[in-house]
Structure 1
């Protein structure tokens, strides 16, 4: 067991297309550069039929404590606010936190 965690944030592109969501992702990554424990993040687009506007942000963290420290810190809300309008809250949870149990 590595202790690493992955955080998934489910998003939906606005009516005008994915451009604003992509711009928000890049803005946030500039803000998060150097956050202790954050290894990297990716913007993913669903390729399933009927999910054209579905996206996910996948972030890789050294461990759950690093993520929790950042999430509970004073900068978290301001740093992530550009993506807040695109969170997909229509299908239940809009995020998930997963511990890596195995990898190849």
Structure 2
């Protein structure tokens, strides 16, 4: 969806269960946030200590409004201890420029 925004939070921890719990708490806190289309927690299949949280936003304005709002820090606080501080920046913000939707698999 061109115009949408994806925000990637890079995490590193040996405590995968703790991270999952923090992800669930954060997702609950973000429920109903205007412009937030959803999020996912991804685990690296080659490195069990590496995780990424990807959130999808309707557009940059929706993300910027939330990020500069009063609830931003409190709602994301559970995930903060898991950030990958070995990276120059433990997050990335990317705008969707183009896309392709593949066909759904045949259920038969």
Give the alignment's TM-score, normalised by structure 1: 0.92
Alignment partner of 2:76 out of 60, 77, 80: 80
Q: CA deviation at 1:91?
A: 2.0
Q: Residues of 2 paired with 1:3 and 1:91: CA distance? A: 27
1:12 paired to 2:8: no
Structure 1 spans left out of the alignment, 5+ residues? none
Instruction: Give the 3-state SS of the residue equivalent to 1:60 in structure 2.
Output: strand
Task: Give 4+ residue runs of structure 1 displaced > 3 Å after superposition.
Answer: none
Q: Residues of 1 paired with 2:17 and 2:29: CA distance? A: 19
Q: Residues of 2 paired with 1:52 and 1:32: CA distance? A: 26
Q: Residues of 2 paired with 1:59 and 1:103: CA distance? A: 17
Q: CA deviation at 1:2?
A: 2.0
Q: Residues of 2 paired with 1:54 and 1:65: CA distance? A: 29
RMSD, aligned CA = 1.1
Instruction: Give the 3-state SS of the residue equivalent to 1:34 in structure 2.
Output: coil
Alignment partner of 1:31 out of 26, 29, 32: 29
Q: Residues of 2 paired with 1:91 and 1:61: CA distance? A: 24
**Which residue of structure 2 lines up, in the alignment, with residue 94 of structure 1?**
90
Alignment: residue pair count: 100
1:65 paired to 2:71: no
Q: Residues of 2 paired with 1:33 and 1:52: CA distance? A: 28
Q: Residues of 2 paired with 1:46 and 1:92: CA distance? A: 19
Structure 2 spans left out of the alignment, 5+ residues? 101-108
Q: Residues of 2 paired with 1:68 and 1:92: CA distance? A: 21
Q: Residues of 2 paired with 1:36 and 1:67: CA distance? A: 9
